[in-house]
Amino acid sequence: MTLQQTGTAADSPVPAPSTSRRTQRTARRRAYKYLPTGAWWVVSVCVAVLFLYPLYILLSQSLKSRSEAAQTPPTLVPHSLSFDNFAQLGSNAGGLSLTHSLGNSLFVTLSTTIITVIVTTMAGYAFAKLPFRGSKLAFFVTLITFMVPFQAIITPIYLTLNNIGLQNNLFGVTLVLTTFNLPFGIFLMRNSFAAIPPSLEEAAMIDGAGVFGAMWRVMLPNAIPGIVSTALLTFFAAWNDFFASLILITDQSKYTLPVSLGILSAGQNNAVDWGLLEAGVAVTVIPCVVIYLVLQKYYNAGLLSGAVK
């Protein structure tokens, strides 16, 4: 209260004589700058170079020719651009085909994302708009599952999958990854449905749409940003998963990309094929970066809505 009073009282005397609105605004903006503009640019660009350097190395190493990629000392810029490392991904060196692993990764990631989106949309809608006895408690329990890391219960998950014949099975991994993406997704979807004013649904129902019609034609379109956020966060989590696939899949032909790369990085005959490995890493990394750059808005919104609560 006192702070606010000083704040409003201070508004006019700050930039001294001329108090046009624009100078006031720039003065306010200046109050936030930690560095003068020139220094800010220098620092920002230097930090950006540090952040981009590993990505540059990734691209340049994977785009070198096979012989240049194995050369020491390493070259900074590829002498000639070559896609040989990428072409090599499909070769069955040591019984390990990375294109096959890529297919496995795609299957797990896409099915996890689709199932998660459907299940969390339904549950989120129910928690926001279709209350039932104990629904508040059920939602609370869902949130608690956030607290338990799946690394801690991976042993019995392995045994449970074994019991139902889904251990060493890509669909088994899908179900596990889906389950551990549910809490955050349900939380996101409940919030996006809860943000839609009830009058909108009521209006639709007065116009003769049933509960289902209202959900499909009115609620769902309004929840699309939430759905995109949930889909994105799930996609990244599933695509980048290493631990669950490492433990739940035992057959090399069923490995996902991150696990297969592990075999590659362990090397054959004590020699690691760095060109091939980094090409595999590039295939894993590039989709994430591209998807993020395109759908950044939704991704950030999803993260932040989870954070702000």
Partner 1 sequence: MSSFTSTTAVKRRGRRLPLLVRRRSMLGMLYVAPAAVLLGFFFLWPLLRTVYMSFFDRPILGASTFVGLQNYVDAFTDSEFGHAVLFTLSYTVITTPVLLAVGLGLAALVKRRTRAAKVFQTVYFVPVVIGLASASYLWVFIWQPDIGPLTDLLARMGIGDAGTNLFASRTAAFLIVLAMVVWKTAGLQMLLLLSGLQSIPEEVVEAAKIDGAGRWQTFRYITLPLLRPTLALVLVFSMAGSLLAFDQFYIMTAGGPDNSTITAVFEIYRTGFVQFHLGYASALSILLMLVLGAVSAVQMLLLRNSDD
Interaction residues for partner 1, span 184-243 (CB under 8 A): 186, 211, 236, 239-243
Give the nearest distance from C-beta 175 to partner 1 in angstroms: 6
The Cα 76–Cα 304 span in angstroms is: 38
Helix axes 274-308, 98-129, angle to 10 degrees: 10
Is the CB of residue 158 less than 8 Å from the CB of residue 247? yes
DSSP 73: S
Check binding of 159 to partner 1 (CB under 8 A): yes
Give the nearest distance from C-beta 69 to partner 1 in angstroms: 9
Check binding of 160 to partner 1 (CB under 8 A): yes
Check binding of 47 to partner 1 (CB under 8 A): yes
Check binding of 133 to partner 1 (CB under 8 A): yes
Check binding of 31 to partner 1 (CB under 8 A): yes
Check binding of 32 to partner 1 (CB under 8 A): yes
- Looking at the DSSP bridge assignments, the partners of residue 271 are 268
Burial (CB < 10 A; 0-12, 13-18, 19+), residue 166, is middle
Q: Which of the stretches 39-47, 78-86, 106-114, 220-228 binds partner 1 when contact is defined by CB under 8 A?
A: 39-47
Binders of partner 1 among residues 78 to 107 (CB under 8 A) are none
Q: What backbone phi and psi angles, to 5 degrees, belong to 271?
A: -120, 125
Residues binding partner 1: what is the number (CB under 8 A)? 105
Q: Of 18 and 72, which CB lies nearer to partner 1 in the complex structure?
A: 72
DSSP H stretches of helix in 11-81: 21-30, 37-62, 66-69
Check binding of 108 to partner 1 (CB under 8 A): no
Check binding of 156 to partner 1 (CB under 8 A): yes
CA dihedral 281, 283, 285, 289 (to 10 degrees): 160
Q: Which two tokens stand for residue 77?
A: 């810029």
Give the nearest distance from C-beta 39 to partner 1 in angstroms: 11
Give the nearest distance from C-beta 79 to partner 1 in angstroms: 15
Is the CB of residue 108 less than 8 Å from the CB of residue 173? yes
Give the nearest distance from C-beta 54 to partner 1 in angstroms: 6
Give the nearest distance from C-beta 90 to partner 1 in angstroms: 19
Check binding of 22 to partner 1 (CB under 8 A): no
Q: Which of 19, 67, 151, 253 binds partner 1 (CB under 8 A)?
A: 151
Residue 224: strand, helix, or coil: helix
CA distances from 299 to 16, 67, 106, 199 (A): 43, 39, 20, 29
Check binding of 284 to partner 1 (CB under 8 A): yes
Give the nearest distance from C-beta 253 to partner 1 in angstroms: 19
Q: Which of 16, 77, 147, 206 binds partner 1 (CB under 8 A)?
A: 147
Q: Which of the stretches 15-23, 91-99, 106-114, 286-294 binds partner 1 when contact is defined by CB under 8 A?
A: 286-294
Is the CB of residue 239 less than 8 Å from the CB of residue 109? yes
The Cα 220–Cα 216 span in angstroms is: 5
Q: What backbone phi and psi angles, to 5 degrees, belong to 142?
A: -60, -40
Q: Which of 81, 224, 289, 294 binds partner 1 (CB under 8 A)?
A: 289
- Smallest CA-to-CA distance from 247 within 151, 164, 148 is with 151
